[in-house]
Structure 1
């Protein structure tokens, strides 16, 4: 198509227009390439880029985070690695073995085994989350009626062994940390939002 063709048969709006771009011929010989580099350097484009780099280097308000010693703050609703919470009073796990998290998991990465103990109560014997398959959708935390599983703040989840991704003890709050008061009551995604206690209304008894 000739470059002087008038674009009259194009399906465009009336306000649109075509502009020809003045493209220089590509240098073929070494001398032409040298002249092109020299021409662009004399324009100051190279020195402008160097000045921007030098200006950022000599600044003292550098915002670089020294990871992993320093970490950026994460929002409380961020869906990171799961946490299994305990009861403050007894230290037992909050999980009652209802199995809702296992049923709603769309990536089929949660496994749970339960049994009936000597007090005729359901007890969770095995609980694992395959973090290698988990897509961190947050459905398990949303559906949990006991707030037993939430999403914590740990997002580093790299390992050379697949067994690392299914360890329950890493997600469950240790008893010594629970006694020291280091377990936040409702942290992470899937927990009650702040200020929920004030919005709860007391239900009058029928008698």
Structure 2
């Protein structure tokens, strides 16, 4: 392309005028316009497309909530707290890293020292109304205690919709039976993870 094509400011030479019909003023003119537009070919083309798709009987409608579409393994839905497989106690050690790294400031945690000299979580809430589901809390957790589960129905009538620690924690009977699911999403255990870890010079 030559430089003259970019420096030429006479752009009107490429314009063309569109024939615009006069606006109907009388009732008869309006009626003719409606008939002309209603019986145009585009209307029958649209009807034929609809009829063609109807006779195929290839229905793609999902009967929600009885049927749900599968979600991806890395989908970040409502949080869940995991338990230890050996003892059944919660994995959360109350380090507070999830609360510190939360960029939307929606996690609140309070801890205490129990009778076994172990830090225990007394209060843990997540405001789902403020949470942006970034996954940072699950990534930074050193014990893989918090993950993103598959439950994405988190609607509420209130603007402040909190989820408590007890609601996120896996029931003890499911943990004892081994029915706790390790989700392959953010913060969960992935297969062959040890082989992916790159050794640092301090590891030798």
TM-score (norm 1): 0.81
Query: Match for 2:100 among 98, 103, 108?
Result: 103
Query: Match for 1:50 among 47, 50, 57?
Result: 47
Query: Match for 1:85 among 82, 86, 95?
Result: 82
Q: Cα–Cα, structure 1 residues 23 and 194, in superposed 2: closer, same or farther, change >3 Å?
A: farther
Q: Cα–Cα, structure 1 residues 25 and 179, in superposed 2: closer, same or farther, change >3 Å?
A: farther
Stretches of structure 1 that go unaligned for 5 or more consecutive residues are: 1-8
Query: Match for 1:32 among 20, 29, 34?
Result: 29
Query: Match for 1:152 among 142, 146, 149?
Result: 149
Distance 1:58 1:12 in 2: 54
Greater Cα offset, 183-192 or 128-137: 183-192
**Structure that is richer in helix per residue:** 2
Q: Is the 1:152–1:187 contact (alpha carbons within 8 Å) kept by the matching residues of 2? A: no
Q: Is the 2:73–2:183 contact (alpha carbons within 8 Å) kept by the matching residues of 1? A: no
Residue aligning to 1:138: 135
SS of the equivalent of 1:54 reads: helix
Q: Cα–Cα, structure 1 residues 41 and 152, in superposed 2: closer, same or farther, change >3 Å?
A: same
Distance 1:130 1:142 in 2: 18
Query: Match for 1:18 among 9, 15, 20?
Result: 15
Distance 1:198 1:122 in 2: 32
Q: Cα–Cα, structure 1 residues 196 and 11, in superposed 2: closer, same or farther, change >3 Å?
A: farther
TM-score (norm 2): 0.82
Q: Cα–Cα, structure 1 residues 25 and 163, in superposed 2: closer, same or farther, change >3 Å?
A: closer
Query: Match for 1:190 among 184, 187, 190?
Result: 187
Q: Report the CA distance between 1:43 and its aligned residue.
A: 2.8
Q: Report the CA distance between 1:157 and its aligned residue.
A: 0.7
Q: Cα–Cα, structure 1 residues 182 and 21, in superposed 2: closer, same or farther, change >3 Å?
A: farther
Residue aligning to 2:4: none
